[in-house]
Structure 1
Amino acid sequence: MLLKSLKTLLASAFLVGASLVAEAAQPFDTSAFQQAQAAGKSILVDVTAPWCPTCKQQRPIVQEIEKSTPNLVVYEVDFDNAKDVLKRLRVQNQSTLLVFKGANEVGRSTGDTNPASIRALVSKGL
């Protein structure tokens, strides 16, 4: 009985802890992106690569912005494997952040790791 209660308690703690972890941005999907644009949503596109040290510095900043801005849709583009998307978005470097308000691109930056300026960039689309 005690063992069963302990297992239940641990399982509950795990579920609560898992729900507190910030969800990663969703992988870029052209159809979903176009639907979000058509709906006039605020969108952040994060072009990243697993080997990029600047991208690693940007990640917690982007995650915090995503977590604190519920009306923001965040898409992650894999710099190494999404060349067609990069071409369409006219992106030449990893660690590029693009902000859209609906169909309009309202800002972009590359290599920025300053939390205040990244927040200011995202606010252009809110």
Structure 2
Amino acid sequence: MKQMRFLKPIVGAFLQLASVAAFAGEVPFNQASFQQTILSGQPAIVYLHATWCPTCRIQKPIVDRLSAEPELKKVTIFIADFDSETNLKKALKVTQQSTFVVFKNGHEVARSTGQTEEAVIRAVFEKAL
């Protein structure tokens, strides 16, 4: 019985990590999931948006299309609310909504703010691969 108590957290952490890796695409920002993704070296993008932002409204359908493309399906896109994720903004040094921060192998490799051209956003996203 004691062994089960030790195995439960290990198995739980493994399953959570596996689910993040298996389910790439758009997910709501969660600090624990984000950290696991980055620490595991999985490709990730943090998208800081605001519901009131006109640029973000233009970007959202582009993000939806790109996240559905086969080559970008392995990239996890964390959707973070610009107004409520103050710690994240400080950690990433983001000062404006409509910002993408791209990670590859656990490190930031690109960022873009205010971009609305699909080809340019695609090029930024592809840096995660």
Shorter-chain TM-score bucket reads 0.7 to 0.9
Q: What amino acid does structure 2 have at the position aligned with 1:116?
A: A
Aligned 8 A contact 1:47 1:78 in 2: yes
Which one-letter code corresponds to 1:121 in the other structure? V
* Residue 56 (structure 1) aligns with: 57
Distance in 2 of aligned mates of 1:77 and 1:90: 14
Q: Which residue of 2 aligns with 1:75?
A: 78
Provide the rounded CA distance (Å) in 2 between the counterparts of 1:34 and 1:105: 13
Q: What are structure 1's unaligned runs of at least 5 residues?
A: 1-23
Q: CA deviation at 1:25?
A: 2.5
CA distance, structure 2, for counterparts of residue 115 and residue 76 of structure 1? 18
Asked if the contact 1:36/1:102 (under 8 Å) is kept, the reply is no
Distance 1:75 1:31 in 2: 12
Give how far 1:34 is off. 1.0
1:42 and 1:100 in contact (8 A); partners too: yes
- How far the C-alpha of 1:118 sits from its partner, in A, is 0.5
AA paired with 1:26?
V
State the distance in 1 between where 2:84 and 2:26 align: 16
**Residue in structure 2 matched with residue 102 of structure 1 by the alignment:** 105
Q: Which runs of 4+ in 1 moved over 6 A?
A: none
Q: Which runs of 5+ in 2 are unaligned?
A: 1-24
Q: Which residue of 2 aligns with 1:91?
A: 94
RMSD: 1.2
Contact 1:47 1:94 in 2 (8 A): yes
TM-score when normalising by structure 1: 0.78
- The count of residues paired between Structure 1 and Structure 2 equals 103
TM-score normalised by L of structure 2: 0.76
CA separation in 2, counterparts of 1:70 and 1:58? 18
Structure-1 residue corresponding to 2:120: 117
